[in-house]
Amino acid sequence: MSTALDSARDLYSTIAANAERTSPEPVPTETVEALTEAGLHAIATPREVGGSELTLVEQMDVLAEVARADGSAGWCLLANSSTIAFFGAWAGDGFAEKLFADGVPLAAGQFAPNGVAVPEDGGYRLTGDYQFGSGIAHSSWAGAGTITEEPEGTDPRFLFALMPVADIELRGNWDVLGLESTASYDYAVRDVHVTEEATFDFFAPVRRRGGPTYDLGVMCLTAVGHAGFALGVTRRVLDELVEVARTKHRMGAAAPLKESERFVYAVGQLESRFRAAKAWVHDAASAAEASVAGGGEPDLSAITACRQASVFVSQQGADIAREAYLLAGTTALRDGPLQRGFRDLHAGSQHFFASDAATLDLGRELLA
């Protein structure tokens, strides 16, 4: 029986060729359609609403395979797959029935609470300005983080809301160093009504569909996607470096790269770092998932470890890419998958999910 990972592998040549042909333009429609037709946007969505509901490691591996072909396509897929999965698991029943009536749709949006939600009958009136809408240009639904406006003395709520893309204003403004083809546009929301059922509490979502893995929450589940992206692009960078070594003879060197002991040693070191990071993030994701398998309360230590393992993979990936870039010489200076991987990994390393936040949480936990 074919698996989602098999499907991702089958699409590698198509996605990689499209990236070479269209970069830095947005991920082409042909790639997006190929991914959705294979159901790869639904890898994290509950089965009850038509998704695959793969394990966390399976999700990570599928995202890695797509990102290996094209970092921007992998990044958009992680945004699309996580956003729609959250509403599949945590949205109200009435809205979920409407949202998934014709299958699993594409959704994307920024989590950061850059909007204000004013309560009104049946829901909220939402206004805000957002950035980094990765994958939103080819999505039919847009998500937006928001803080509720409450009466004095009542604590506001941090909600994530979903609305049709037709209700927002896409502003463009994506002139960047890496992940160029993600078209992670700025967008505006102005006076849009969203129902209560089309929102969930960001830090305390209530699982209505799907298995206990969804009890791990936004931070852990999103970290898994970022780890998949970093693993895939780093793998491609290392593979490209080996290909360079097969033919390259650097000016003034006595031997080709593949016969240089210094180069061979460096490749072995980089590969070892990659495999160690991959092993840890696989183990951490599995442990986090196992911690809730019996339906108990989420293990905060396991969640912290999963988040930090993802940070480690992202930061190691950027560092490995930098060293690979230097080892490859002028070959990496020219446009191509090695240069693109270098830029994409450094762009990804600027994201919150690759920041020091989880590292500090883990350190404080160890010292407590």
241-287 pLDDT, tens digit per residue, is: 999 888 776 665 666 788 888 889 999 999 999 999 999 999 999 99
Residue owning tokens 């074919």? 2
Q: Please work out, in degrees rounded to the nearest 5, the angle formed at the alpha carbon of residue 256 by the alpha carbons of 252 and 259.
A: 125
Q: Which residues pair with 75 in a beta bridge?
A: none
pTM, to two decimals: 0.96
C-alpha distances in Å from residue 364, one per residue of 138, 148, 163, 277: 41, 31, 38, 21
Same domain, yes or no: 160 and 295: no
Give the H/E segment covering residue 191: strand 185-195
pLDDT above 90 (res 152): no
- Answer whether residue 207 is part of any domain: no
- Answer whether residue 156 is part of any domain: yes
Same domain, yes or no: 113 and 136: yes
Model pLDDT, residue 153? 85
Cβ atoms 103, 140 nearer than 8 A: no
Same domain, yes or no: 349 and 292: yes
Model pLDDT, residue 94? 97
Q: Which domain holds residue 73?
A: 4-99
Per DSSP, the three-state class of 106 is coil
83: its two tokens: 């956003």
Domain count, the chain: 3
- 3-state class percentages of the chain: helix first, strand second, coil last, to nearest 5: 60, 15, 25
Same domain, yes or no: 284 and 192: no
Same domain, yes or no: 262 and 344: yes
Average pLDDT over residues 205-216: 98
Q: Which residues pair with 192 in a beta bridge?
A: 126
**75-79, 126-130, 306-310, 330-334: which has the minimum mean pLDDT?**
330-334
Query: What is the band of 192 on the pLDDT scale with cuts at 50, 70, 90?
Result: very high
What does 231-286 look like in DSSP terms, one character per residue? HHHHHHHHHHHHHHHHH---TT-SS-GGG-HHHHHHHHHHHHHHHHHHHHHHHHHH
Q: Please work out, in degrees rounded to the nearest 5, the angle formed at the alpha carbon of residue 279 by the alpha carbons of 306 and 36.
A: 70
Same domain, yes or no: 62 and 87: yes
Q: What is the domain-level CATH number for residue 302?
A: 1.20.140.10
Task: Give the total residue count for the chain.
Answer: 368
Same domain, yes or no: 218 and 348: yes
